[in-house]
Structure 1
């Protein structure tokens, strides 16, 4: 009689949850939070209300780029909102979404349950990163769509005046506005990656939630200082500013491309650091709340090194000065004056002239010849001259310029009164804003031929 040994039953090997299922699960978790739902509703409704209210007011936000044109075209509204969002809204949104996506599990103590269900820290990281990115994109799209529709409905689909005075047709304005918002996604991704890094490295600490907003505020403060242009462009938030170059002719693409590339590099590096810290975390310890030493050595120090590397990389292209000199200022003012003079000519129903016929030129000084004519300041003074065909005497106008360290300037007319002395000009159809009275411009900080 022979004994038979029963073969052991094969064990079922627990399968890891696919990334797509983990992504849907994390996305559902985010969308069920009341805070996220409020943000989505606000981003899809508040910009429309903001643009509609501002466009109907008598006083416009002239201290903001394109704010003075919100009565003239609906395409100015989304640009004004873009300037505000780059400074405040987008850093705050990335803080609330990406800065909390990992820390929320620490507060709830659900890491062990999540690991048992998913069985892969790597897939958890990817799922959480993709879900937070999806929500941020939904919020950004809401800002764009809401402000654009409101501006077009309230003001109209009209021409937009660029930052050098040239006119953009409604079709060109639409494409350029959306391209500007698309470029702003690069620094938004960089801030979101910094938020992921803070959420992973700092755990429950509120600093992880606030990190993108704090970093964005620090970069804003640095951008207002007279730092070298190489250091300015090496900061990941510069693409929130360099989209201004899209609204000149020809477009100032150099600073924009550098800003976008630097932002994307920062996004990749910060995400990689967050992943490195996360997959090496000890999830068996329920009291673990981030390692301060690891956050310093694998989080902060690599980013400081990255800032030095990006500064050294762009320095040969940008130089180490302010990027603002007399020649650039004179060219920018002369070109913009010629474009806006033609616009005023059409308002007054005069014979049209071309920029070549006007032969406009500018002579600019800084501080009354007491200091070198370079760098930012509110003590720039320009005398613009031009020629009208058939008239022997040349015309001239005076402007006081306030140029900030970013290259943006505001030219304030200082006479003669027939050209730029009054806010309004009398036209055959009634009083209209005088385009030569006060105008915004942009100076490219990179060396130009």
Structure 2
């Protein structure tokens, strides 16, 4: 039996949205699970960043991980990277994925409808309340991680993903902007959580929808997908904030990622609203409908992905996976020139400019029988540079591990006095060698430089 919601009779005024919002917010904040999440988000990141920043072994496999004991801003970016992968989808599942389903489990829909007298206002109140809690959780992650990093490692300059140095003020603004950009895909996952909470009723699968989506997208990000398909996924904005740490900033992938995430948020919320108004509130054993999820929810989102892929493919010049030889060579040479200057300052040698160094890179992937494109850990590059007044050309070897999302790790492979050891001997003592290992980021939408 399918029943529709009866509109309130004439003269029965619905409760104001603000009152419903306050009521729903109090309900959420009164749950021990939400209180524990708030406590964890506002305290745990600071403790984690402080503890790791004091260690000699750093999470070098995470972007900005090797800089955690050099500047306080790196710790917040490590937390952001982890939050974008798992924490934020989990938080949206626990909050938005349960905000409607809890009424089904408790059988309180009829009481709520009598009190509010408007299904539309119930939807708005619950949506705004869950959004408020999610924003509080995200703000806690950001504020706590920044505070922990600054207390332990200090307000120092941050090395960007192209080797250029960000002053403390610039690093602060860019880190905060990165956290703000992560809110767009968070809204998309929250909207998916609302959709699952409504469509599946008391079923725990509604709670798991944001997590399952995050897991599927994590697996997709490991594959060498076409650039248009990568950018069409709502999770891409969780990665594209890295482009803010290059000069100039890689704004194209980030703007596309934000637009895609907001489109997902709007469509998923609209689908959740439509399903909510059409559901049967008289059935106390309502468990949702799997077929309804596929037809009324999954199909429109799949159509959105297909349309987005078509628009991006037609509007951008990038083809293939976006990881190409020319892009890697240009990015590596630029990063090397910036970091060479940092090493020069460490060793108190005469300063040189990037233009004087004339750094270039020559890369090969897997030998002559392998096409020089795509992600992989078999990239081998030779960087060449010139010093003013010297006739000899300096060379350095790097092994590159490039991932499908555009990030790569450059591992120095000699000569030892340049990049073959993790420390350099300076007049003030041993210091970390900026040329030994470093992270880089390739703009997937950039056109391939001519060789």
TM-score interval (norm. to shorter) = over 0.9
Cα pair 2:119 2:277 within 8 Å, conserved: yes
Moved more, 404-413 or 193-202: 404-413
Partner of 1:329: 328
- 1:393 maps to what in 2? 392
Give 1:132 shift. Answer: 0.1
> Which residue does 2:409 correspond to in 1?
410
Given that 1:397 and 1:415 are in contact with CA atoms closer than 8 Å, whether structure 2 keeps it comes out as yes
* Residues 97, 210 of structure 2: 8 Å contact kept: yes
Distance in 2, Cα, partners of 1:319 & 1:380 = 21
Q: How far, CA to CA, are the matches of 2:289 and 2:365 in structure 1? A: 52
2:134 corresponds to = 136
Alpha-carbon displacement from aligned partner over 1:61-101 (angstroms, at most 9, x marks no partner): 00000000001000000000000000111011000000000
Q: Cα offset for 1:354?
A: 0.3
Structure 1: runs of 5 or more not aligned:
1-10
Cα separation, 2, equivalents of 1:296 and 1:120: 27
1:267-313 Cα shifts (integer Å, max 9, x gaps)? 00000000000001121222222233322211111111111111111
Q: In the TM superposition, what is the alpha-carbon distance from 1:58 to its structure 2 partner?
A: 1.1
Residue in structure 1 matched with residue 5 of structure 2 by the alignment = none
2:288 matches 1:294:
no
**Secondary structure at 1:100 match in 2:** coil
Unaligned residue ranges in structure 2 (runs of 5+)? 1-8
What is the distance in 1 between the residues matched to 2:151 and 2:286? 53
Decide whether the 8 Å contact of 1:386 with 1:395 is kept in 2: yes
Q: Paired residue for 2:43, among 34, 42, 45?
A: 45
Distance 1:12 1:162, change over 3 A: closer
**Structure 1 length-normalised TM:** 0.96
Alpha-carbon RMSD: 1.1
SS in 2 for 1:398: strand
Bigger mean CA deviation after superposition, 394-403 or 134-143: 394-403
Q: Is the contact between residue 40 and residue 142 of structure 1 (CA under 8 Å) also seen in structure 2?
A: yes
- Report the count of equivalent residues: 439
Q: Distance in 2 between matches of 1:276 and 1:78?
A: 39
Match of 1:57 in 2: 55
Does the residue aligned with 2:192 lie in a helix, a strand or coil? helix
Contact 1:165-1:340 within 8 A present in 2 as well: yes
In structure 2, what is the equivalent of residue 425 of structure 1?
Answer: 424
3-state SS of paired residue (2:105): helix
Match of 2:378, SS state, is strand
| Equivalent residue, structure 2, for 1:363 | 362
Q: Which of 301, 304, 312 is residue 303 of structure 1 equivalent to?
A: 301
CA distance in 2, matches of 1:101, 1:123: 14
Aligned pair partner of 1:169 in 167, 170, 189: 167
Q: Distance in 2 between matches of 1:12 and 1:410?
A: 67
Counterpart Cα distance in 2 of 1:82 and 1:148: 10
Distance in 2, matches of 1:341 and 1:12, equals 76
Q: Distance in 2 between matches of 1:270 and 1:286?
A: 25
Query: What's the counterpart of residue 444 of structure 1?
Result: 443
CA distance 1:295–1:244, change in 2 (3 Å): same
Once the two structures are TM-superposed, the CA of residue 12 in structure 1 deviates from its matched residue by 9.2
| 8 A contact 2:202–2:286 mirrored in 1 | no
Deviations 1:28-77 (A, max 9, x none): 10010010000000000000100011001110000000000001000000
Question: Who is 2:268 aligned against?
Answer: 270
- Give SS of 2:417's match: helix
Higher Cα Rg, which structure: 1
Please give the per-residue CA displacement for 1:187-210, whole angstroms capped at 9, x wherever unaligned.
Answer: 000000000000000000000001
CA separation of 1:224 and 1:82: change in aligned 2, threshold 3 A: same
Alignment of 1:36-435 (within 5 A): 36-316=34-314, 317=316, 319-435=318-434
Greater Cα shift, 438-447 or 95-104: 438-447
Q: Which runs of 4+ in 1 moved over 4 A?
A: none
Distance 1:12 1:250, change over 3 A: closer
Superposition deviation, residue 318 in structure 1? 5.2
The answer as to whether partners of 2:196 and 2:209 remain within 8 angstroms in 1 is yes
Structure 1 range deviating more: 135-144 or 314-323 = 314-323
Q: Distance in 1 between matches of 2:286 and 2:351?
A: 73
Question: Retained in 2: the 8 A contact 1:419–1:436?
Answer: yes
Range with bigger deviation, 310-319 or 437-446: 310-319
Give the whole-Å Cα distance in 2 for the aligned partners of 1:407 and 1:200: 36
Q: How far apart are 1:340 and its partner, in Å?
A: 0.2
Cα distance in structure 1, aligned partners of 2:79 and 2:136: 16
